[in-house]
Structure 1
Amino acid sequence: MHSIAALQTIIGEALTERNFPDNPNTLYEPIKYFLAIGGKRLRPVLTLLAAELFGATIKEGLPAALAIEMFHNFTLMHDDIMDEAPLRRGQETIHKKWDINTAILSGDATLIRAYQLLAECKPELLAELLKVFNKMAQEVCEGQQLDMDFEKLATVTEEEYLHMIRLKTSVLLGAALEIGAILGGADKQDRSNIYTFGVNIGIAFQLQDDILDVYGDPSKFGKQVGGDIIENKKTYLLINALQLAKGSDKQELIHWTEINEFDQQQKIDRVTAIYNDLGIEKLAHKKKMSFAEQAYQALEAMAVAREKKLSLIEFTETLLIREH
């Protein structure tokens, strides 16, 4: 089994080698630029880990892994437009560096490349791969729509939020793993187990992100700590704080979410203080670990020798203790 670092290198090199055409430059240059920004390539790493786990070679798994990475980047390109985000990983987003129409078309071309890559897999597996890939793609769109819908709602329940992040974030991790398992010839039960593992890790991953946004180290987090508080994002932390707060804490929390003009640092400090009073960080960590435990149970149930699962265990631990 390859290490996670080795797989990240393989994927990075493959993305460079499998270049896009030169013309029209206005369509393909933004894609090359976006891919060059980098990222951890966690999702395609999962595909290769699963493929190796069940006996496929890196060569057999690589086209599908790259398809997963292309799909992920397509969603980021379009999400940046919807979020009006000026930066992605510290660099200008495509719609800012070029324009919105270019970002839409470049995103579309990236999605098409994902399907082209998937088509390079074994023909006898393609129908099953497409079934898993297309279900995931549709659910990611549903999750993004729910996320946008939540911005207009006064209240969102914890259950609604967890459902949204399952669709928007987690099913992609689950599908990345299941696709690798299909390439390795896993049976239906192990495919189900590894998908469940990925989905639960994905939810834990997003909850860790929610926690880091408030409690992360600014020098390591990579973006402004407290950004979710400033934007009134309905994260696990805010949803539970609004549910648990009483009296003056409740009134102040509602006040900060309703006013349009405020000192950003003051808002971050005051809302964080309310979170601290309510024990919200501990609550979020507990919920995160409950999903991690479900993931470990699914991993344990897989009919594969434990030593072969060590890379996935390492991957999980890296996600859960990450600082950025």
Structure 2
Amino acid sequence: MNFADYLTQKLPAVEAEIMRGLPSATAAAPAAVAAPAAAPAAPAAPAAATSATAPSEHTRADLNTYLYQPLAHFSAGGGKRVRPVLCCLGAEAVGGSAEAALTVACAIEDFQSAALIHDDIADKSELRRGEKCLYKTLGTGLAINVGDSALVNVVRRVTVADHLSDQLKVRVIDALLAMQEHTLEGQALDLGW
């Protein structure tokens, strides 16, 4: 099977996992983002609000409007998904399971979303994936917050993955942090030149 066929085959599971794992200010995820029946069962992302008192309906609506819906729209709004599919392919290449790698694969895609949102601000870009950049539609402050939320979700995906041992979670998070650090260093050099 060539890579294009593999990408086409894995894309539905990747798309479903990306959307399923995004945070929300509501307890129930919309039916449209449920994982397909063929995908392995995975724990739902924790509710975004973790205070002792549940946020009011108005606060939940505002969180969805200003944080979670923009993140979901950006995450669903494009990208070739090469990174998560390569992660799945890599898992299979060493005798692992693409399905088991899906959580980490989508964490990498969350990082890519955060990096793109922040990069658009730093570069003062106008368009991303054929649409106005997030900071152009939401404002810089909210766009930074949405990008930061995607960064939080990188680690959250790994920590809630019941099929990963605690030791493996630490190794994965260390690798993800190294990737983030290298990306930030590259961005610093790019902006500083």
Q: Same fold (TM over 0.5)?
A: yes
RMSD between superposed Cα atoms in Å? 1.6
In structure 1, which of residues 106, 115, 134 is the aligned counterpart of residue 177 of structure 2? 134
Map 1:144-223 → 2, pairs under 5 A: 144-150=187-193
The higher relative CO (CA closer than 8 Å, separation ≥ 6) is in: 2
Q: Once the 2 structures are TM-superposed, how far is the Cα of residue 17 of structure 1 from its aligned partner?
A: 2.8
In the alignment, is the contact (CA less than 8 A) between 1:64 and 1:117 conserved in 2?
yes
In the alignment, is the contact (CA less than 8 A) between 2:14 and 2:106 conserved in 1?
yes
CA distance in 2, matches of 1:98, 1:65: 28
CA distance in 2, matches of 1:47, 1:8: 12
* Cα displacement string for residues 9-38 of structure 1 (whole angstroms, at most 9, x for unaligned residues): 221122233343143121112101111211
Normalised by the size of structure 2, how large is the TM-score? 0.73
Normalised by the size of structure 1, how large is the TM-score? 0.44
Q: Once the 2 structures are TM-superposed, how far is the Cα of residue 124 of structure 1 from its aligned partner?
A: 2.6
Find the counterpart in structure 2 of residue 125 from structure 1.
Answer: 168
Find the counterpart in structure 1 of residue 15 from structure 2.
Answer: 12
Find the counterpart in structure 1 of residue 137 from structure 2.
Answer: 97
In structure 1, which of residues 106, 109, 115 is the aligned counterpart of residue 155 of structure 2? 115
Find the counterpart in structure 1 of residue 146 from structure 2.
Answer: 106
* Cα displacement string for residues 69-106 of structure 1 (whole angstroms, at most 9, x for unaligned residues): 00011000000111111110101111111110000111
**Secondary structure of the residue that 2:23 maps to in structure 1?**
coil
In structure 2, which of residues 64, 67, 72 is the aligned counterpart of residue 32 of structure 1? 72
Find the counterpart in structure 2 of residue 73 from structure 1.
Answer: 113
Find the counterpart in structure 1 of residue 92 from structure 2.
Answer: 52
Opposite residue 147 of structure 1, the aligned amino acid is: D
Change (3 A) 1:100 1:14: same
**Poorly superposed stretches of 4+, deviation over 3 Å:** none
* Cα displacement string for residues 155-186 of structure 1 (whole angstroms, at most 9, x for unaligned residues): xxxxxxxxxxxxxxxxxxxxxxxxxxxxxxxx
Map 1:215-254 → 2, pairs under 5 A: none
CA distance in 2, matches of 1:127, 1:14: 21
Q: Once the 2 structures are TM-superposed, how far is the Cα of residue 4 of structure 1 from its aligned partner?
A: 2.0
Bigger helix share: 1
In the alignment, is the contact (CA less than 8 A) between 2:103 and 2:158 conserved in 1?
yes
* Ranges in structure 2 where 5+ consecutive residues have no aligned partner: 26-59
Opposite residue 73 of structure 1, the aligned amino acid is: S
* Cα displacement string for residues 195-237 of structure 1 (whole angstroms, at most 9, x for unaligned residues): xxxxxxxxxxxxxxxxxxxxxxxxxxxxxxxxxxxxxxxxxxx
Q: Once the 2 structures are TM-superposed, how far is the Cα of residue 54 of structure 1 from its aligned partner?
A: 1.4
Of the two, which has the highest radius of gyration? 1
CA distance in 1, matches of 2:181, 2:16: 29
In the alignment, is the contact (CA less than 8 A) between 2:17 and 2:103 conserved in 1?
no
Q: Once the 2 structures are TM-superposed, how far is the Cα of residue 48 of structure 1 from its aligned partner?
A: 0.5
* Cα displacement string for residues 106-130 of structure 1 (whole angstroms, at most 9, x for unaligned residues): 1111100010112223323122212
CA distance in 2, matches of 1:12, 1:122: 25
In the alignment, is the contact (CA less than 8 A) between 1:37 and 1:91 conserved in 2?
no
Opposite residue 67 of structure 1, the aligned amino acid is: A
Map 1:259-274 → 2, pairs under 5 A: none
Q: Percent identity?
A: 32
CA distance in 2, matches of 1:122, 1:51: 16
